[in-house]
Structure 1
Amino acid sequence: MSLRLSTVILPVHRWHEGGRERWQRAEELGFHAAYTYDHLSWRSFRDGPWFGALPTLTAAATATERLRLGTLVTSPNFRHPVTLAKELISLDDVSGGRVTLGIGAGGNGFDATVLGQEPWTPRERADRFGEFLPLLDRLLSEDAVSHTGTHYSADEARNVPGCVQRPRLPFAVAATGPRGLKLAARYGQAWVTTGDPKLYEDGTPEQSVEALRGQVEKLGKACADIGRDVAELDKVLLTGFTPDRNSLLGSVESFVDFAGRHRELGFTEIVVHWPIPDSDFAADQAVFEEIATEALGRLA
């Protein structure tokens, strides 16, 4: 099974002070895709620079030629399907059809209350996502959409000429629970996971592998339930949140070992964070670039 390697470039650098160069370097290094987080602020980066995801990706689209671009991930926390669809169609056009939308139900971070609302319960997040994703699918696939829902509505929403990618740009659906996995099975061209968050602090790499194996099996069942072949979906692992996160980018050898174990589980794409000094994503830039250019060759 072939494996692709991608990166996440957090939007923490001014475009003309290192931002552009990172996206261009990602293309030079041969990454399959470069993603960014779609938050308004995030964890330890809250009090520092943090730029918008879709404008950043639009700029990256004009600065690169081959690199796929996307979000990991967008959520309903501060977005509406109608306006998001218009922005995504525009981004897909600017990029020449190189956009993947990573999308999930969202969480309880700063984005959950930044508009002045009370944070949604897990059930409400799932309810909203269950309405948000099907509507977005229609908005990106049809010229005109009207819909009246519990949480999201559209009245003659026009999206001509639609996406460059047909019938629409691909969805990479982040999910681990039963309702989210059903959405991934029905609407996803890819599935995204970060592993089991309960193992983040005290778990072992072996426990993480078994937890991910279980998630892959549940995705397979969700696909089987609707008569879809799970092999049609790419399986994307966003790294940095598993017990072996601190050694992952320590050397080419450690990354090759990690990638090989997760390829055996069925993953088709592994995503690593572009190094950021003095953060949870600190790593040696030279080693990171060596991994980008050599690791997959050693897996062959």
Structure 2
Amino acid sequence: MSLRLSTVILPYRRWSEGGRKAWQHAEQLGFHTAYTYDHLSWRSFRDDPWFGAVPTLTAAAAVTDQLRLGTLVTSPNFRHPVTLAKELVSLDDISDGRVTLGIGAGGTGFDATALGHEPWTPRERADRFGEFVTLLDRLLTEDSVSYEGDFYSAHEARNIPGCVQRPRLPFAVAATGPRGLRLAAQYGQAWVTTGDKKVNDSGTPEQALQAIQGQAEKLADACAALGRDMAGLDKVLLTGFTPDRGRPLESLDAFVDFAGRYQELGFTEIVVHWPIPDSDFAADEKVFEQIAMDAVAQLG
């Protein structure tokens, strides 16, 4: 399978002041998917404009025709499966089946306390995530769902007519630990990683590559335990967090070299951040556009 190139467009611009144009330009450049973060706020953007993911994706669906759209990623931090499922069915309908749900366990950032509770421990996040994904899968594939869990409940929750994509829209499960990888193997149509946080913070690019290879091997074990062929699971790398940081976007050759190494590990999709001046994702827009238009052909 040839490598796909996708992008993340952070929702920090008003729709009338560059937001709309970015999504349309992503389609013009030929990106496979344009994702956005599903956060209430994020890191250095906390005190700056920041808009909701689902309304942004709905607007993007209305001004594009071929571009796939998605979250990268949605988490249980401030979402409930019942209400999220209704929004996703609606978004999948509006986009005519172009939505991918990137989904993860969430972290300890601003989203974790915005609803007024203390941040959950890693174990609590993992417990909630497992129930969240399991219930969401049912809500998106069954007409009516009743469920009583430890964290979430549903009483005759209806999602008729269901997703345009059958049996439901695809899940891209972000995971690095054993429980998350099992969820990716069981429910995912794709697996997402940003690498190993410890290595990303203090390691080298080569160590990051080795760490991600180790994650992929554990995912293969999880798939094997379920009798699933890992070849049927897309593998997605969200860039910008490994020790390379922004270096792969410094030139077309640099990106082709970077992406090629991950393609050799079996990755099927590389996701790059749309350039944002004066931020962690600053990059030369001309180089970015050249990568978007020419890199996939060079990678074969």
Aligned to 1:166: 166
Aligned to 2:151: 151
Query: Does residue 247 in structure 1 map to residue 247 in structure 2?
Result: yes
Give deviations 1:189-240, integer Å, cap 9, x for gaps.
0000001111223211110110010011000000000100001100000000
TM-score, normalising length: structure 1? 0.99
Partner of 1:212, secondary structure, is helix
Give deviations 1:110-131, integer Å, cap 9, x for gaps.
0000000010000000000010
Aligned to 1:75: 75
1-structure distance, mates of 2:157, 2:180: 26
Aligned to 2:202: 202
> What is the aligned-residue RMSD (CA, Å)?
0.5
Aligned to 2:56: 56
Q: Which amino acid aligns with 1:65?
A: D
Aligned to 2:261: 261
Aligned to 1:24: 24
User: Following TM superposition, by how much is the alpha carbon of 1:90 offset from its aligned partner in structure 2, in angstroms?
Assistant: 0.3
Q: Which amino acid aligns with 2:271?
A: V
TM-score, normalising length: structure 2? 0.99
User: Following TM superposition, by how much is the alpha carbon of 1:77 offset from its aligned partner in structure 2, in angstroms?
Assistant: 0.2
2-structure distance, mates of 1:202, 1:181: 24
* 1:1-300 alignment runs, 5 A limit: 1-300=1-300
Partner of 2:23, secondary structure, is helix
2-structure distance, mates of 1:201, 1:184: 25
Give deviations 1:116-169, integer Å, cap 9, x for gaps.
001000000000001000100000000000000010000000110000000000
Q: Which amino acid aligns with 2:41?
A: S
2-structure distance, mates of 1:281, 1:249: 10
1-structure distance, mates of 2:211, 2:202: 14
Percent identity, please: 78
What residue ranges of structure 1 are gaps of 5+ in the alignment?
A: none
Task: Give every structure 1 segment of 4 or more consecutive aligned residues whose post-TM-superposition deviation is greater than 4 Å.
Answer: none
2-structure distance, mates of 1:201, 1:97: 37
2-structure distance, mates of 1:289, 1:61: 22
Q: Which amino acid aligns with 1:269?
A: E
Partner of 1:276, secondary structure, is coil
Partner of 2:77, secondary structure, is helix
Give deviations 1:51-79, integer Å, cap 9, x for gaps.
00000000000010000000000000000
Partner of 1:78, secondary structure, is coil
2-structure distance, mates of 1:6, 1:182: 25
Q: Which amino acid aligns with 2:185?
A: A
2-structure distance, mates of 1:2, 1:299: 8
Q: Which amino acid aligns with 1:30?
A: G
What residue ranges of structure 2 are gaps of 5+ in the alignment?
A: none
